[in-house]
Chains A and B, each alone.
Chain A
Amino acid sequence: MKTHQFEVVVIGAGGAGLMAGLYASKSASTAVISKLYPARSHTGAAQGGIGAALGNLEEDRPEWHTYDTVKGSDYLADQDAVEFMCKEAPGIVYELEHMGLPFSRTDEGKIAQRFFGGHTNNDTTKPVKRTCYAADRTGHMILQTLYQQSIKNDVQFYDEFQVLDIIKTDEGIAGVVALEIATGEMHVFHAKSIIMATGGWGRVWEITSNAFAYTGDGVAITLRHGIPAQDMEFFQFHPTGIYKMGILITEGVRGEGGILLNGKGERFMEKEGNAPNVKELASRDVVSRAMYQEMKQGNGVDGERYLYLDVTPETVNKYAALDGRTRPDGTPYRVTGEEILGKLPDIIDFCETYLGVNPVTDPMPVQPTAHYGMGGIPTDNYGRVVVDKDRKEIMPGLYAVGENGCVSVHGSNRLGSNSLLDLVVFGKYSGIEAANHAKKTEYIPLPENPTAYAEQQLEDLRNANGDERLSEIGREMKEVMFEHVGVFRVEEGMQEALEKIKELKVRFKNIKIDDKGKLFNMDLLNAWELSNLLDIAEVTTAAALNRKESRGGHARNDYQERDDENWMKHTLAWLEEDGVRLDYKDVVFTKFEPKKRVY
């Protein structure tokens, strides 16, 4: 066992972790620990852009961004937090540009901006160009830029270290336990502040846009320490994943004029009850539900469970003319194949590689894909973990940020291009705050055997010699969760899912690990990751079962309406010996009264 000491330890090296590390390391000794090389983090898979009311192409205001985000959240977001994020947005985008981020440019050489779902001019209610982009690889550029700046600023990295546990004594947060993947050696990081930035858990579901690494490690670790997870029932299904594979096709495709068509060639988003005003540019929950309904009514292409996303110039131009869509200078909006290629090069590459389809000439077969967890570890605007329902009790020294955190700025449904914004804004402020905390406090002494719990967990797994295969347990979990805790949900289905997850947790105790070695034991780590996913699946399902309404990413066939009277509240879920305990906390309102959400 090796012991290290850093004032601040950041867990995870995606956008949030790197931003936090950059800021914390300005004033405190800081280590960033990641199970992947930083450049492999899932932030790099984000495509379409980062939302900020720069107004580079047309009038825009942070206040409009705030309202759109609150509306998009189906009024579950905490409005003070949303206001904070949207106000910070332009400044932080300029800051990224000053770090060298290679944004696409307007004709005037400014940062280019595009349409994205749910972002509007609040006066006209028409879509507004708010999403700042670097072609369709904005996440890649953010990840690279932050990693590059971390190298420049000598941030200390521990790459390919799997964090297994946080060290929490009676006195408080004392550090982190991590396994060096290459050697199998345990490391203890004695720390004053810990920032959890471990990303999401989309690998709970069968069809997903998420990386293998997205196994909810941070949320699972904190749940095991009696810290609640918030709003876990709200999980976003992105409307456009590549059929069967789930690979993300950015909302930017629709921003550039792409149209969703059913098997009959109908533009179903304009139907009454879907989004007759902004159509394809409604928020993601609305579009995914509309797609699901189309397929259920037998309107999938060739009767299959997919629809077409069409960005061929003929289709874009036909509907742009019908919609009377214009460019900022007032001329009619028309595109060429070359422009599409220039704005969506990666999408074209993915479609050619995986589908043999060229989106410039042919439509793309798509279906909703598990994408983003709105919930997570409850925090305030500075990433501080808030453990009670009255928002009074903060756990000193513990921070959570990015997808594994829940401020909550996304409420029950996140708007596209707000996740990259969330990462950098709250990454920055949690980094600053964690360093401040470290400067004001002393190290809490490490307990006698800080690695005991993590070692025991791994030993139990390593010595498991049953007859269940991890791959099979994982497959059954993903299948039941996609079927019953997916885009639409009902009581019986969720009950079935919950029972299944409990059964799988029992069967998990009877797994067999083939690899008994120390070095790069991915078999063992994959088992540990699956145990995290199972915990998260259980919490998600229990929270979803109990919420008897439809709101944002949680849509129930048996309770189809939003019920503000009873359910305008955040869920808090504790994972206890005998199952999941639920409680609720109030939503923060500032200026926006809840209204029915119409697009």
Chain B
Amino acid sequence: MKKITLKLFRYNPETDTKPHYDTYKLEVEPTDRVLDLLERIKGYEDGTLSFRRSCAHGVCGSCAMRVNGENKLACKTLMQDLSGNKVVVEPILGLPVKKDLIVDMEPFFINYKSVMPYFINNGSQPEKEHIQSIEEQERFDDTAKCILCGACTTSCPSFWSNDEYVGPAAIVNAHRFIFDSRDQGAAERLQILNDQFGVYRCRTIFNCTVACPREIEITKAIGEVKKAIASGNLE
């Protein structure tokens, strides 16, 4: 058990003219998740506190937030992972705040949908499965892990400065199909990402890679897409 101060970003457009912070003193276990703290505040102190959450173990992508200034999933960040006795929780940046820790995810999903994030194979389908080697499957295994939490895109300075940039999450999801040996839509996706709001907005700052709760090597994936556009092949 240790005592901490929890500082929460609060904003309710129905009652507040501008955001403010509320501060709580709590006793916490090293294994408490930030999400557990939020649940305690909501459950026992202030039911108006609003945030998204569902799976509580890092696979659904609902609870991306800024914890002590870094993008994290609240359910995957434990007290023992944080130094000091002060925890500051704020909404992710670059998307409009709707209420407390909830942001408008629509712009994020619009960007995601713009890169044709779906399997395209218009040829005749085999009777059973497509044959794909272990090596071919591993080519896009990392990017297929994405849970669309938005932690990467909303940590990216290029996205903050211009939200028309599709952002790392969209590129990750394009990568997942571009490098799938069974897919036939790579050329079209590469063309989309060759746009002025595509991959070249990436300045290789690596914030996305650090922010990803699934440990996807995002900057590397973006690099592979850049290379494919430049070279015109997927090798």
Contacts and interface: CB of A to CB of B under 8 A. Distances in A.
B195 interface: no
28 contacts: A37-B62, A39-B148, A40-B61, A44-B55, A45-B60, A94-B129, A97-B130, A98-B121, A103-B129, A105-B134, A134-B144, A140-B59, A144-B144, A148-B117, A149-B119, A152-B119, A211-B60, A212-B56, A353-B58, A356-B80, A469-B43, A514-B47, A517-B15, A518-B14, A519-B14, A520-B50, A520-B99, A523-B48
Contacts of B76: 353
Contact of A102 (B61, B133, B141): B141
Contacts of B60: 36, 39-42, 44-45, 211
Nearest to A111: B129
Contacts, number: 164
A247 interface: yes
B227 interface: no
A264 interface: no
B180 A102 contact: yes
A54 B130 CA distance: 14
Interface string B9-25: 00011110000000000
Given A105-B133, A107-B134, A514 B145 contact: no
A45 to B, nearest CB: 5
A248 B59 CA distance: 11
A99 interface: yes
A40 B54 contact: yes
Interface of B: 12-15, 31, 39, 42-44, 46-48, 50-62, 76, 78, 80, 98-100, 102, 105, 109, 113, 116-121, 125, 127-134, 136-137, 140-141, 144-148, 176-177, 180, 182-183, 215
A140 B146 CA distance: 9
Nearest to B48: A515
Given A44-B147, A211-B54, A471 B43 contact: yes
Contacts of A103: 129, 137
Nearest to B33: A354
Interface of A: 36-37, 39-42, 44-45, 54, 93-94, 97-100, 102-105, 107-111, 134-135, 137, 140-141, 144-145, 148-149, 151-152, 182, 211-213, 245, 247-248, 346, 349-350, 353-354, 356, 469-472, 512-515, 517-523
Nearest to B51: A522
A576 B140 CA distance: 53
Nearest to A148: B118
A105 B137 contact: yes
A471 B46 CA distance: 11
A336 to B, nearest CB: 16
A517 B60 CA distance: 27
B117 A519 contact: no
Contacts of B147: 39, 44, 140
Given A353-B78, A354-B57, A515-B47, 13 more contacts: A39-B148, A40-B61, A44-B55, A102-B144, A102-B176, A105-B134, A134-B144, A149-B118, A247-B56, A350-B58, A519-B98, A520-B98, A523-B42
Contacts of A45: 55, 57, 59-60
B109 A37 contact: yes
Contacts of B128: 54, 94, 110
A523 B14 contact: no
A245 B32 CA distance: 10
B54 A469 contact: no
A97 B129 contact: yes
A354 B56 contact: no
Nearest to A513: B47
- Kindly name the residue among B58, B105, B121 whose own CB sees the greatest number of chain A CB atoms within 10 A: B58
Given A45-B57, A97-B129, A514 B118 contact: no
B118 A151 contact: yes
Nearest to A523: B47
A523 B50 CA distance: 8
Contacts of A346: 59
Contacts of A182: 98
Contacts of A349: 58, 215
A102 B132 CA distance: 9
Nearest to B40: A471
A42 B54 contact: yes
Contacts of B127: 94
Contacts of B137: 102-105
B65 to A, nearest CB: 15
A472 B40 CA distance: 11
Given A149-B119, A519-B99, A42 B129 contact: no
A329 B132 CA distance: 21
- Kindly name the residue among B54, B109, B130, B215 whose own CB sees the greatest number of chain A CB atoms within 10 A: B54
Contacts of B78: 353-354
